[in-house]
Amino acid sequence: MKSNVISIIVTTRNEERNIRRCLQSIIKQNYKKFEIIVVDNHSTDATQKIAKVFTNKVFTYGPERSAQRNYGASKAIGEYIFFIDADMELKNDVLASIILYINEVKKFGGAIIPEQSVGVTFWERVKVFERSFYLAYGDSTTDAARVFPLYLFNKNKGYDESITGPEDWDLPERIKKNGYSIIRVPTIIFHYENIPSLKQLLKKKYYYALKSHRYLKKHNISTFSSKTIYFLRPVFYKQWKAFFRHPILSTGLFIMLSGELFAGGLGFFKGKIQNL
């Protein structure tokens, strides 16, 4: 383990359209003590070929992102590990900001990096609008840490591979319960949304909800809470004026969240009944 080195772990699957932009943003970081680890889930496109231009640590592993992330962590040499997705792009100061802030925290357990979504299609722009509410002030119901001390990640046995979807929330919550602090670093990750249609978005929400009952039971969270019911999230009501400034996006947001709530509910109850 090397002091103050950040091992950046990128999980991929058929990401040839995104991976170059993502890795280039890492190379351009002002802070240079890092390594790049790419864990690819059996891509059939040029993802691995492109990744190998930037790092010699390119591995094939699956079947889900939790397993990919845990495998990537097992190959890390850094003091800290930083998980990002291939459709993300880092501002040049992200790594420097992480090091600056975590060195000021006594019991550092993890760091949240705010995400600013980027989208072109209508539903992508609606998703950008939704995420703008979380970006402004942060939201404990949606924020999930991406940076962890490697020793603490291993001590907590990494991501729970039996949970697909809410595992992003599960690990930081386990770490906090052990008395460690999760901080929010004031920089930005750009997240390029890929929503070809509302139908595809809802299918994804349904899939991720299939095992969400395990997460809720594990942390004793009510089925009807701000974690599961989007319209119960205070962040929307704190910024209610934004709905009047963007009536078309607001209408789309209501439709999208209603659809996600329905699709997620179907997935949740199917998963719970069938004990998936």
Task: List per-residue pLDDT tens for the chain, 276 residues long.
Answer: 778 999 999 999 999 999 999 999 999 999 999 999 999 999 999 999 999 999 999 999 999 999 999 999 999 999 999 999 999 999 999 999 999 998 888 899 999 999 999 999 999 999 999 999 988 777 777 889 999 999 999 999 999 999 888 899 999 999 999 999 999 999 999 999 999 999 999 999 999 999 999 999 999 988 888 888 888 888 899 899 999 999 999 999 999 999 999 999 999 999 999 988
Check: CB of residue 59 under 8 Å from CB of residue 35: no
**Burial of 13: CB neighbours in 10 Å, binned 0-12, 13-18, 19+:** middle
Domain ranges of the chain: 2-195
Cis peptide upstream of residue 234 (ω within 30 degrees of 0): no
Residues 6+ apart with CB under 8 A from 27: 54
Q: Cα dist. 135→30, 236, 250 in Å?
A: 23, 11, 17
Minimal CA–CA distance to 58: which of 21, 114, 11? Answer: 11
The pTM (predicted TM-score) of the whole model is 0.93
Total residue length of the chain: 276
Q: What class is the 2-195 domain?
A: alpha beta
Minimal CA–CA distance to 11: which of 177, 180, 226, 158? Answer: 158
Using CA atoms, how far apart are residues 104 and 183, in angstroms rounded to an integer? 10
Give the DSSP per-residue string, 169-194.
HHHHHHHHHTT-EEEE-SS-EEEE--
Residues 6+ apart with CB under 8 A from 171: 110, 145, 148, 153, 156, 158, 159, 160
